[in-house]
């Protein structure tokens, strides 16, 4: 999120709006906004309905759940939902007509889309 904040001014120069979507409960998202001084909108998809409709969700296997819990990470507590689900990290560039113009999706949830790639895609759209 910090990298997105660092790129926000450049993103806005293209007339674009940055919106992040997280599976966390709203109060956790608000805490993240405050602690990181984020100035763009973060929406909660705590039931993973949006990311599910985009085919981005995956179930966390039992063995990985145990590892998460050993680090104090309780996904159901973070999302407020009973299932152990995470969305794949994704970046989607949508134009003013609602047409998807670029995507960056990685099934490895530890790999995050680069903010610089967003700037490149926005530059192509403005040409």
* Per-position DSSP letters for 39-105, written without gaps between them: -SEEEE-TT-HHHHHTT-EEEPPHHHHHHHHHTT--HHHHHSSSS-EEEPPEEEEE-TTS-EEEEEE
- The domain locations on the chain are 2-119
Architecture of domain 2-119: 3-Layer(aba) Sandwich (3.40)
Rounded CA-CA distance 99/88 in Å is 21
Per residue in 54-95, pLDDT tens?
999 999 999 999 999 999 999 999 888 899 999 999 999 999
- Could you give the 3-state DSSP secondary structure of residue 6? helix
Per residue in 91-115, pLDDT tens?
999 998 999 999 999 888 788 888 8
How many residues appear in the chain? 127
Give the pLDDT of residue 39: 94
Given a cut of 80, whether residue 21 has pLDDT beyond it is: yes
């Amino acid at each position: 999120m910090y990298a997105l904040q660092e790129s926000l001014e450049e993103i806005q120069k293209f007339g674009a709006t940055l919106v992040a979507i997280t599976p966390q409960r709203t109060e956790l998202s608000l805490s993240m906004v405050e602690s990181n001084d984020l100035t763009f909108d973060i929406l909660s998809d705590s039931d993973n309905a949006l990311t599910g409709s985009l085919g981005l969700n995956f179930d966390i296997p039992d063995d990985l759940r145990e590892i998460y819990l050993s680090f104090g990470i309780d996904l159901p507590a973070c999302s407020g939902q009973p299932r152990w689900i995470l969305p794949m990290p994704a970046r989607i560039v949508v134009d003013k007509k609602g047409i998807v113009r670029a995507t960056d999706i990685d099934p490895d949830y530890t790999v995050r889309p680069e903010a610089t790639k967003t700037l490149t895609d926005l530059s192509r759209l403005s040409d």
